[in-house]
Chain A
Amino acid sequence: MKVIKIDKTNWIQGIENLRDSYKLTGPVKGEKFYNFQELDNGEVPDLNYSNTRLSTKSIVFPQSEVMLNYTIDESKDDHHIMKEIDTDYAPRALIGLRPCDAKALTLVKLNFDTTDYKDPYWLKAYEATTFVGLACDDPLSTCFCTTAGSGPYNEEGLDLLLVDAGDHYLAKVITDKGATLLETAGWKIEAGDISIIETKKSDAEAKITSKIKTDKLKEKDTLEIHSAPFWEDVSFACLNCGTCTFVCPTCWCFDIQDEVHGNDGTRMRNWDSCMFPLFTLHTTGHNPRGEKIQRVRQRFMHKLKYFVDKYEKGIMCVGCGRCVSQCPVYIDIRSICEKMNSYELAV
């Protein structure tokens, strides 16, 4: 595997060289939090963050996205006919995302890329993006990626993995897309000794002491865990604020709404949340998940059981810890996973 050495003195110039060929997105420090956003001319990704408040899912799946447009002006020939909008899917580079966020996108892809239907918006944005990962050397106490199917140096879903080696980065080439980006940036010097990558990787993994067990989830009976007594307790404090679903890199649910200004209409989709009662409310007033306990259970059953059974690709969680640290009432997916994984029907 090819590894390129990027001296930090060449970093900014390389980023500038990318601008003609890629739209750049990277972590930027806001007032309180780091967030991924488009990098304006002269702006460089700030790679000193430990984790961003929101995940990178919005780069391929914006929180609000126009899908179709139309005119309702009846004097026009094509009134009330819905057309696909012209979105710019020119190459983009996402620089400095964490391996957990990249892995999460590979899980979300299972939902949007199916044999029956392909979601053109999600897939075109995903294809257009080159994912430049940043290995994680200082994980947080809420990180549990190593037992959630990912890891601080995990390469799934990445085109390149950057490892911070002090005065330089080592860029591990994972795909052709990654190689092309390095060439475009003008970063060409092959690294000599790369043993430091393995050492740093083991060090980082050893720092992650928070662990979950998922080995028994698959064999559990869906209806038995669904009717387990612990859901009452688990959901008691939940405010149904939806924070956990918005910050989650693997939550993909959305709503579709029409908006009209004057004669110009758009159909758009917006992130939605299974934590909201309106999500499943029938027009008749009947609501299959009208109670809080049903909604909280749905969120965890989806991530830790339905998804596991449906795709056989592990759990729908990468251990980024965002929901753990941002839930206002400290609901912790790790302890819920433990309850589910160890649940035995009382005899």
Chain B
Amino acid sequence: MINPYQPYAVRIDNIDIATEDKSLKTFRFVFLNKEDENKFAYEAGQFAELSIPGKGEIPIGIASSPVEKGFVTFTVNRAGLVTTHLHKMKVGDIMGIRGPLGNCYPWELLEGKNILIIGGGFAFTTLRSSIIYLLHPDNRSKFGNINVVYGARSPGMLLYKDQLAEWEKRDDINMHITVDGTDDPDWKYNVGFVPTIVEQKAPPGNTASYAIICGPPIMIKFTQPVLEKLGYEHDHIIMSLENRMKCGIGMCGRCNIGQELVCKDGPVFTLAQLNKTPKEY
């Protein structure tokens, strides 16, 4: 019997400070056993439990993309017990990863469609994974137009700056990067909250377009009416939830919204699905 609670052993291969305030770090892991990497086959949108012996486990979205081989990456915000400990760990340290867990963004359904990606703050991790996947030469032709609205408090708080700059240069993806505010005179992108930029820059919705939205609750709350105005139906608005989790495999009982378990039936739901469940997220 496969034990779904037993993590794969991994080594920290690289640590990058991801934001200027050092509250976020991106960790790259390699599997101690090569076969485990194959067993950990994942899709963009899934998450994993990062497992630190002696401290505990935390559910974190997978930031690397299935088209990137040889490692997995996660970007972690320093918040409480386990994340603070992880921030103190060093390259070479051994820990565990359990997963991949949960569902992914509905890639088959999205084929042939225009995709609007909206991200705020550090909830951009699985969106990074998704964009890399979409832009891969094997995949790009399968999808329609791609628009990305990504916002952070300030320029220094934007994640994955090198990649953002690369994507800005491409003509097969429209980037709309924004910050809440900045005193940088050389800032060449947008200033304004995500919902406002969506209203100004995002293409209108129709049967051939889907929106994927990930961010803090407040951003989602104000973006939803904007998307409705733009013509995105509720079953074309895709969101990813973050309830408190332990097991990640639908057994410990804490992450439910109605009869759905966020860890197993989610974390990705359409707004139409969420409309049918109690608002316990």
A255 adjacent to B246 (CB under 8 Å)? yes
Chain B residues, CB < 8 A from A117: 4, 249-251
Is the Cβ of B281 less than 8 Å from the Cβ of A258?
A: no
Q: Across the interface, do B280 and A68 meet the contact criterion of CB distance under 8 Å?
A: no
Q: Are A283 and B276 in contact (CB under 8 A)?
A: no
Taking CB atoms and an 8 Å cut-off, the chain A residues in 221-265 that contact chain B are 222-223, 226, 252-258, 260, 265
Q: Is A274 an interface residue (CB 8 A)?
A: yes
In this complex, the interface size class of chain B, counting residues with CB under 8 Å from chain A, is 35 or more
Which residues of A have CB within 8 Å of B57? 256
A81 in contact with B94 (CB, 8 Å): yes
CA of A277 to CA of B216 in the docked complex: distance in angstroms?
22
Q: Which residues of A in the span 79-109 have a Cβ within 8 Å of any Cβ on B?
A: 79-84
Counted as pairs of residues, one from A and one from B, with CB atoms less than 8 Å apart, the total is: 129
- Expressed in whole angstroms, the Cα–Cα distance for A325 and B95 within the complex equals 46
B7, B252, B256, B279: the one within 8 Å of A306 (CB)? B256
Surface stretch bound by A, among B48-56, B151-159, B189-197, B206-214? B48-56
Q: Hey, what's the 0/1 contact readout for A284-297 against B, CB within 8 Å counting as 1?
A: 10101100001000
Q: Would you call B259 an interface residue if the criterion is a C-beta within 8 Å of the partner chain's C-beta atoms?
A: yes
Chain A CB within 8 A of B264 CB: yes
A112 CB-CB contact with B under 8 Å: yes
Name, among A67, A81, A114, A274, the residue most crowded by chain B CB atoms within 10 Å (CB to CB).
A81
B53 A72 Cβ-Cβ under 8 A = yes
For the complex, count residues of A whose C-beta is within 8 A of B: 54
Q: Assess whether A80 is in contact with B256, with CB atoms less than 8 Å apart.
A: no
Most A CB atoms within 10 A — which of B4, B79, B278? Answer: B278
Pairwise interchain contact A288-B281, C-beta atoms closer than 8 A: yes
Q: Is there an interface contact between B95 and A222, defined as CB atoms closer than 8 Å?
A: no
- Contacts beyond the supplied A117-B250, A265-B53: 5 A-B pairs with Cβ under 8 Å: A82-B6, A82-B53, A116-B250, A124-B1, A280-B254
B residues engaging A (CB < 8 A)? Answer: 1-7, 9, 32, 51, 53-57, 79-80, 83, 93-96, 217, 242-244, 246-247, 249-259, 264, 276-281
